[in-house]
Structure 1
Amino acid sequence: MTKYGCPIREGAVRFPDAEALTFGGRSWTYGALDAEVDHWVAALEARGMGAGHRIALLATNHAACVFLFWALGRLGAVLAPLNARLTRAELAPLVEDVSPSLTLALGALAERLPGAESLESFRSATSSSTARTLDERSARVILLTSGTTGRPKGALLTEGNFRASSRASAANLGAHPAPRWLGTLPLFHVGGLAMLTRTAYEGGCLVLHERFDAESTCRAIDEESVSHASLVATTLERVLDVRAGRRVPETFKLALIGGGPVPVPLLERARAVGLLALQTYGLTEACSQVATERPGDADGRTAGPAVPGTELRIVGGDGEVCGPGQEGDIEVRGPTVMAGYWQRPDATNEALRDGWLRTRDLGVLDSRGRLTVLSRRTDLIVRGGENIYPAEVEAVLANHPSVQESAVVGVRDARWGEVPVAFLAPRAGHERPSDEALESWCRESLAGFKLPTRFLWVDALPRNAMGKLERTVLRKSAES
């Protein structure tokens, strides 16, 4: 089995003066980043961290997140990054699930993670030369998400997953001597981590921003020689609004657009200013990209073919593989597919069958093998690239004293792609609260992006003869 060293250490040997990371007005060469990571390894060793230990992290994008990620790799330890937009109540079950040996948090977020040590001051004054080798099966990250049942699931991604994802992306997008990826996606999402690892494996530079900002993104494209970026439809539109028809420089090669279908007029608007925007379909369990348009063969009408090294198929309800034009469940096989769900053997066995990842998304392949995604999981709502699980929102609403039961569905939205709308059945003998009161109730337990945009009261929720909630009926009602 192939053994891998730390790509930052390798870069420090091969091209020590090449730029590896920028953040907050500072820059690190591979040599400087290698030395910084050594200090973080020493700090982790001083806390007793080593191979197999799990470290939970609550942070927005920060250079320290990069230092920590590569330091954990040198120790063989595993990172469990937590969504910085979640509330204290939402984070608690995720931390309990991963049972970390150490928790770290940026100072501004520390109150949400009791017992967490400060990320900013974690660095050691001494350094360490420890640098374990890893192989394809070495666990690197547990990416936690609340499942449709509300119980957390953590996708376990390996060194082999990240390296295969990097190879596939490079093969699909074309070789670049030293790519400079703009890091606006959060490092607690697979897309952000894919950029972090991809630049290191390819000897490039991660131009890391704390968060997405359209003005800052345009400056990075124009002034910092950024070559690649990953966006969603809403952020692409905001970038184009700022540019106001101004063309991108030749140094900028392309942007991957994920998070759901992208309006063709928006893609055409991007190309009018020289910004090649490629649609992509991916998921956490497959370490980011599964299918992506090819630069020389992109029309914005599909998510493209499977990336090199990945197999993609559509399976019907009878388990038979569908032909071109036939709709069914999207399944994926290849070296980017996760090792499984952390401590969830039943969920793992349900998701992985004979090496195929059952995404539970619906799609169709055309005669050229290009994928069109019809639905990203039956109930899942994708709002501007953020996943919202109806069961989680419904549970919060159902706890309101005036609500007998609730149902949340996604409806089409021009800006966000989809937004959540809540249907509520009243509890007898209780006065119906105002929309403002319901929103305030939800904010106590839910991140802002999960809040319903509307609250619609009905006498009773529609159910079929089997007692199953008819979400399609509710969705049509909300859209009408």
Structure 2
Amino acid sequence: MSVLLCPIRVGARHHPQAEALTFAGRSWSYEALDAEVSRWVAALEAEGVGASDRVASLATNHVASVCLFWALGRLGAVLAPLNARLTSVELAPMVEDIQPRLRLALGALAERLPGARPLESFAEAVSTGASTCQPLEASSPRVVLFTSGTTGRPKGAVLTEGNFRASSRASAGNLGAHPAPRWLGTLPLFHVGGIAMLTRTAYEGGCLVLHERFDADAANRAIDGEGVSHASLVATTLERVLEARGDRRMPDSFAWALIGGGPVPVPLLARARAAGLRALQTYGLTEACSQVTTERPDTADGRTAGVPLLGVEVRIVGAGGEVLGAGAEGDIEVRAPTVMAGYWQRPEATQEAVRDGWLRTKDVGVLDGGGRLTVLSRRTDLIVRGGENIYPAEVEAVLVNHPAVQEASVVGFPDDRWGERPVAFVAPRQGQPHPGDEELAAWCRQSLAGFKTPARFVWVDALPRNAMGKVERTVLRRHALR
């Protein structure tokens, strides 16, 4: 079985002065980043972190997160990057599941992760780096990324070194060769898209132009003045980049933008292309290490999510598991070297999700005669707000704990800016006064990230249910559009 070396160490040997990373006005060559990662390895070894250990981190984008990721790889340890937008209540079960050897958090977030050491200063006291650089196999776990199912119960998708390398090869095979890609890193490094950019640039000998968070003006400055060649965006951030640019056309140095996070309005893609921003719609998910399908540069029209990438198979299956032909709607299944190793310590969930090598996404779609995928629904009842997943069951569980709420159901409704926003339908508990929207929103924010808080609350006498007693969400969605 082939072994794989840290690409930062490889880059330091073969192109030491090439730029590997920029962040907050600073720049690191491959040689400099290799030395910095070596210091982090020494700091982690001093804490007893070794092969197969897990380290939990809570951070927005920061150079320390980059160093931590590569240092853990050299030790054969596993990173569990936690969503920095979640509350301590939401984070607790994830930490309990992962049982980390070490917890690290940026100072501003530390109170949400009890017992965490300061991430930004973790390796400051180390003056001499460690030479440790353990070769990895394709099957070596690299990260555990938590994602929720329709029940809202967090599951940790285990992604391997082989997953990330296969994803990088597949994406590069579609976009075409580039001597040294410079990816605009605005996606968070606790999401699969952010880590995909981090790994992709290193494997290809490129540079990650990392930003702490998305800012349209800063993104445009990087595109115009820092030679950014590629970017990964969602519909809302694409629109904000275009609005901030005004009449300025994209420079020749910019190659492609990948647009994911849910369906992208065709007029928005057309507007981007008119401005010289070449955008390709994609479909992907955490369990498949980011991209599954992407439009091909020579045939892109913004009307589908494109064809499967190199080495990726996609099929549509019916309710009985039968494979359907072109034009038939059904569940999307994926088979590829990018598919996760499984869910962390959840064998039953893994067996349910991956059968005979096929990942059962539970998304609904259709393939046309040319093999192009159109995604019709992003998982049962899932709400996608600006690229962030909102699982109704999680929000509903918080709402029904309010003393005035008997039952609740949350659905998505279209939003021009965010793609979708959640609306909560709530039935009152007998004898209790109706609380106002502000009170219910405040109640939600005690336990949920702000983006999960419903945009509107609608009081009903009772939730509509079918003969099986299940809530009829289609009825509620129609009502939400009124």
TM-score bin (small chain): over 0.9
Residues 74-113 of structure 1 correspond to what in structure 2 (within 5 A)?
A: 74-113=74-113
For 1:328, the aligned partner's letter is: G
SS in 1 for 2:310: coil
Aligned to 1:350: 352
Residues 425-444 of structure 1 correspond to what in structure 2 (within 5 A)?
A: 425-444=427-446
Please tell me whether the aligned partners of residues 179 and 228 of structure 1 are also in contact (alpha carbons under 8 angstroms): yes
SS in 2 for 1:245: coil
Aligned to 1:195: 197
- Give the deviation of 1:377 after TM superposition: 0.4
Aligned to 2:146: 144
Aligned to 1:369: 371
Please tell me whether the aligned partners of residues 97 and 152 of structure 1 are also in contact (alpha carbons under 8 angstroms): no
Deviations 1:127-146 (A, max 9, x none): 10001000110000000123
Structure 1 runs of 4+ with >3 Å offset: none
Aligned to 2:171: 169
Sequence identity, in percent? 76
Aligned to 2:238: 236
SS in 1 for 2:297: coil
For 2:256, the aligned partner's letter is: L
- Give the deviation of 1:151 after TM superposition: 2.0
Distance (Å, rounded) in 2 between the aligned partners of 1:300 and 1:464: 37
Deviations 1:11-44 (A, max 9, x none): 0000000000000000000000000000000000
Aligned to 1:385: 387
Residue 21 of structure 2 corresponds to residue 17 of structure 1 = no
SS in 1 for 2:136: coil
SS in 2 for 1:169: helix
Q: In terms of mean alpha carbon deviation, does 140-149 or 351-360 score higher?
A: 140-149
SS in 2 for 1:301: coil
For 1:98, the aligned partner's letter is: I
Distance (Å, rounded) in 2 between the aligned partners of 1:437 and 1:334: 47
Distance (Å, rounded) in 2 between the aligned partners of 1:327 and 1:146: 24
Aligned to 2:45: 45
- Give the deviation of 1:465 after TM superposition: 0.7
TM-score, normalised by the number of residues in structure 1: 0.99
Count of aligned residue pairs for this structure pair: 480
In structure 1, stretches of 5+ residues that fail to align are none
Distance (Å, rounded) in 2 between the aligned partners of 1:277 and 1:436: 39
Aligned to 2:258: 256
Please tell me whether the aligned partners of residues 294 and 304 of structure 1 are also in contact (alpha carbons under 8 angstroms): yes
- Give the deviation of 1:125 after TM superposition: 2.2
Aligned to 1:422: 424
- Give the deviation of 1:63 after TM superposition: 0.4
- Give the deviation of 1:388 after TM superposition: 0.3
Distance (Å, rounded) in 2 between the aligned partners of 1:218 and 1:127: 36
Residue 210 of structure 2 corresponds to residue 208 of structure 1 = yes
Please tell me whether the aligned partners of residues 232 and 259 of structure 1 are also in contact (alpha carbons under 8 angstroms): yes
Deviations 1:178-219 (A, max 9, x none): 000000000000000000000000000000000000000000
- Give the deviation of 1:126 after TM superposition: 2.3
Residue 50 of structure 2 corresponds to residue 55 of structure 1 = no
Deviations 1:383-416 (A, max 9, x none): 0100001011001100000000100001111111
Distance (Å, rounded) in 1 between the aligned partners of 2:120 and 2:335: 39
For 1:41, the aligned partner's letter is: V
Distance (Å, rounded) in 1 between the aligned partners of 2:147 and 2:91: 10
- Give the deviation of 1:378 after TM superposition: 1.2
Please tell me whether the aligned partners of residues 147 and 286 of structure 2 are also in contact (alpha carbons under 8 angstroms): no
For 1:332, the aligned partner's letter is: V
Residues 273-284 of structure 1 correspond to what in structure 2 (within 5 A)?
A: 273-284=275-286
Deviations 1:43-85 (A, max 9, x none): 0000000000000000000000000000000000000000000
Distance (Å, rounded) in 1 between the aligned partners of 2:284 and 2:372: 14
- RMSD, aligned CA: 0.6
Please tell me whether the aligned partners of residues 17 and 31 of structure 2 are also in contact (alpha carbons under 8 angstroms): yes
Q: 1:451 aligns with which of 450, 453, 458?
A: 453
TM-score, normalised by the number of residues in structure 2: 0.99
Distance (Å, rounded) in 2 between the aligned partners of 1:343 and 1:418: 32
Deviations 1:270-301 (A, max 9, x none): 01111001000000000000000011110000
